[in-house]
Amino acid sequence: MALDRRELLLLVDAGASHTRAVVATPSGNVLGLGEAGGGNPFASGGRAAGAHLLRALRRALADARRPPSSISLAAVGSAGVGCDGTGRRRTERLLRRLLRGARLLVEADVSAALRAALAGAPGAVVVAGTGAIVLGRTATGRWATAGGWGWLFGDEGSGQWLGRQAIAAAARATDGSGPATRLAALLLHQTRSSSLWHLVQKAYRERWTPADYGALAPLVTRAAGGGDHVARALVDIAMRRLAAQIGAVVAQLRLRQPAVSYQGSVFAAGRIVLDPLRRALRRGQLVAPALPPLAGSLWLALESRGVAPAEAAANFVRQLPPELRGLGHA
């Protein structure tokens, strides 16, 4: 069933650090924006993640000056939903508190990221924001993932992994068991800590979340860009781990030389991370993302109604604020 141009869409990208919602028309005109904290229940806790999701939706509706009843279709990419659909019903129940009459399309945030990065084409995407995961999809719809095991058991190459590794490297430099690094001074300044011991105590006492550690990742890429050997080594390790996950997905799907794109805040550092990723990539061609993750939710909404999404997606991205036109987050 085709979309009526008067209908309104609610598009959501719920990552581990931020939840962003947009009220838009089927032609991609942006009417309202809303933002709240992380929407991943494994990173923020189930109750907090749910509250953040609803807060972002309400803020977008308020910004658009539209009631919840005006939304005909909501498309949501959520870090709390697996590619196999795990967690979808929980998210749908939450959305129904606000959107009682709307059609709901809920999927993993990495699925939206892949659709946006390759404009609906088959291939693979590596997402490295607070967390990290690789998803690949064939032309026939077969899919496979690697990584995405969460901050306790995986997420190598993610923002939180880089942040935690930076603290560990600074600790080794401080006690003399590892090489000197600028990371120690950068971390102390960023966290307003008087010493590394003070920083570590703060992290334990305040029970830092993955998002807290992920906020330290830009210090690593900045130090690496400035020539710090320890920071460069961390970035190289991170990109090799992500390349290995890409290789695992490519092998599972028996793809020959697929397009491989990227999304997430880690890649905002540009060549300092992309060059080592490209060097480590054994199979696949690294390509820049065509669209940011939020556009993946618009793409899903329009395709579900049989509407060609390319023109509307381009219009949509042009109207987003600059911070949402980039590589997105996880």
| DSSP class of 194 | S
Instruction: Quote the pLDDT of residue 63.
Output: 96
With CA atoms as reference, report the closest residue to 241 among 186, 161, 176.
161
Helices 196-205 and 159-175 pack at an angle, to 10 degrees, of: 140
Domains of the chain: 8-116+292-324 (3.30.420.40), 120-289 (3.30.420.40)
- Residues 278, 269: Cα–Cα separation, whole Å: 14
Per-residue pLDDT of 50-105, as tens digits, reads 888 899 999 999 999 999 999 999 999 998 888 888 888 988 988 998 888 899 99
User: If DSSP codes are grouped into helix, strand and coil, which group holds residue 211?
Assistant: helix
Percent of the chain at pLDDT > 90 equals 68
What is the reported pTM?
A: 0.88
Q: Is the pLDDT reported for residue 327 higher than 60?
A: no
Contact, 51 vs 302, CB < 8 A? no
Per-residue pLDDT of 124-177, as tens digits, reads 999 999 899 999 999 999 999 999 888 888 889 999 999 999 999 999 999 999
- Helix, strand, coil % over all residues of the chain, rounded to 5: 50, 20, 35
234-267 in b/e form (b: 16+ CB < 10 A) is bbbbbbbbbbbbbbbbbeebebeebbbbbbbbbb
Per-residue DSSP letters for 281-314? Answer: --SSEE---SS-HHHHHHHHHHHHTT---HHHHH
Per-residue pLDDT of 4-60, as tens digits, reads 557 899 999 988 778 999 999 999 999 999 998 876 766 656 677 888 889 999 999
